[in-house]
Amino acid sequence: VSRFNDITMAPPDPILGVSEAFKADTNEMKLNLGVGAYRTEDLQPYVLNVVKKAENLMLERGENKEYLPIEGLAAFNKVTAELLLGADNAVIQQQRVATVQGLSGTGSLRLAAALIERYFPGAKVLISSPTWGNHKNIFNDARVPWSEYRYYDPKTVGLDFDGMISDIKAAPDGSFVLLHGCAHNPTGIDPTPEQWEKIADVIQEKNQIPFFDVAYQGFASGSLDEDASSVRLFAARGMELFVAQSYSKNLGLYAERIGAINVVCASSDAAARVKSQLKRLARPMYSNPSIHGARIVANVVGSPELFNQWKEEMEMMAGRIKSVRQKLYDSLCAKDKSGKDWSFILKQIGMFSFTGLSKTQTENMTSKWHVYMTKDGRISLAGLSSAKCEYLADAIVDSYH
| Positions marked catalytic | 132, 213, 249
> Which of 18, 32, 34, 36 contacts ligand PMP by CB under 6 A?
36
Q: Which stretch binds ligand PMP (CB under 6 A): 103-111, 194-202, 219-227, 385-393?
A: 103-111
Among 32, 80, 101, 104, binds ligand PMP (CB under 6 A): 104
Closest CA to 258 of 115, 72, 19: 72
Q: Which CB, 103 or 263, lies closer to ligand PMP?
A: 103
Binding segment for ligand PMP (CB under 6 A), chosen from 59-67, 101-109, 230-238, 282-290, is 101-109
Nearer to ligand PMP, 200 or 215 (CB): 215
Q: How far is the CB of 182 from ligand PMP (least distance, A)?
A: 10
Residue whose CB is less far from ligand PMP, 36 or 356:
36
What distance in Å separates the CA atoms of residue 273 and residue 277, rounded to the nearest whole number? 6
Exposed, middle or buried: residue 17 (CB in 10 Å: 0-12, 13-18, 19+)? middle
Q: How far is the CB of 259 from ligand PMP (least distance, A)?
A: 5
Please work out the total of residues on this chain that contact ligand PMP, with binding judged by CB under 6 A. 13
- Whole-angstrom distance, CA of residue 229 vs CA of residue 217: 10
Q: Which of 72, 105, 293, 377 binds ligand PMP (CB under 6 A)?
A: 105
Q: How far is the CB of 186 from ligand PMP (least distance, A)?
A: 8
Q: Measured from the CB atom, is 91 or 111 closer to ligand PMP?
A: 111
**Single-letter amino acid code for the residue at 152:** Y
For residues 180 and 320, which CB has a smaller minimum distance to ligand PMP in the complex? 180
Residues 258-297 interacting with ligand PMP (rule: CB under 6 A): 259
Question: In the complex with ligand PMP, which residue's Cβ is closer, 132 or 342?
Answer: 132
Q: CA dist 353 to 60, 175, 276, Å?
A: 42, 30, 40
Chain residues 198-227 in contact with ligand PMP, contact rule CB under 6 A: 213, 215
Task: Scan residues 116-135 and list those touching ligand PMP (CB under 6 A).
Answer: 132
Can you name the residues that pair with 243 across neighbouring β-strands?
Answer: 212, 262
**Maximum Cα–Cα distance for the chain, whole Å?**
64
Q: Which of residues 135-194 bind ligand PMP (CB under 6 A)?
A: 180, 185
The minimum distance between CB 244 and ligand PMP, in angstroms, equals 7
* Counts of helices then strands in the chain (DSSP H, E): 16, 13
- Shortest CB 19 distance to ligand PMP, Å: 12
Helix (H) or strand (E) holding 17: helix 16-24
Q: Long-range CB contacts (< 8 A, 24+ apart) of 78-84?
A: 79/297, 79/298, 79/301, 79/302, 80/245, 80/260, 80/262, 80/297, 80/301, 81/260, 81/262, 82/301, 83/217, 83/224, 83/228, 83/301, 84/214, 84/217, 84/228, 84/231, 84/243, 84/245, 84/262
Strands 97-103 and 209-214: unpaired
Quote the distance between the C-alpha of residue 37 and its chain's center.
11
CB-nearer residue toward ligand PMP: 175 or 380: 380
Residues 233-262 interacting with ligand PMP (rule: CB under 6 A): 246, 248, 254, 259
104-112, 225-233, 342-350, 371-379 -> range binding ligand PMP (CB under 6 A): 104-112
By CB under 6 A, residue 299 contacts ligand PMP? no
Smallest gap from residue 254 Cβ to ligand PMP (A):
6
CB closer to ligand PMP, 255 vs 272: 255
DSSP string, 334-382: HH--S----THHHH--SSEEE----HHHHHHHHHHH-EE--TTSEEEGG
CA 369 to chain centre: 28
Nearest distance, CB of residue 135 and ligand PMP, angstroms: 7
DSSP reduced 3-state for 278: helix
Task: Please work out, in degrees rounded to the nearest 5, the angle formed at the alpha carbon of residue 49 by the alpha carbons of 44 and 51.
Answer: 100
Beta bridge partners of 380: 352
Binding site for ligand PMP (CB under 6 A): 36, 104-106, 132, 180, 185, 213, 215, 246, 248, 254, 259
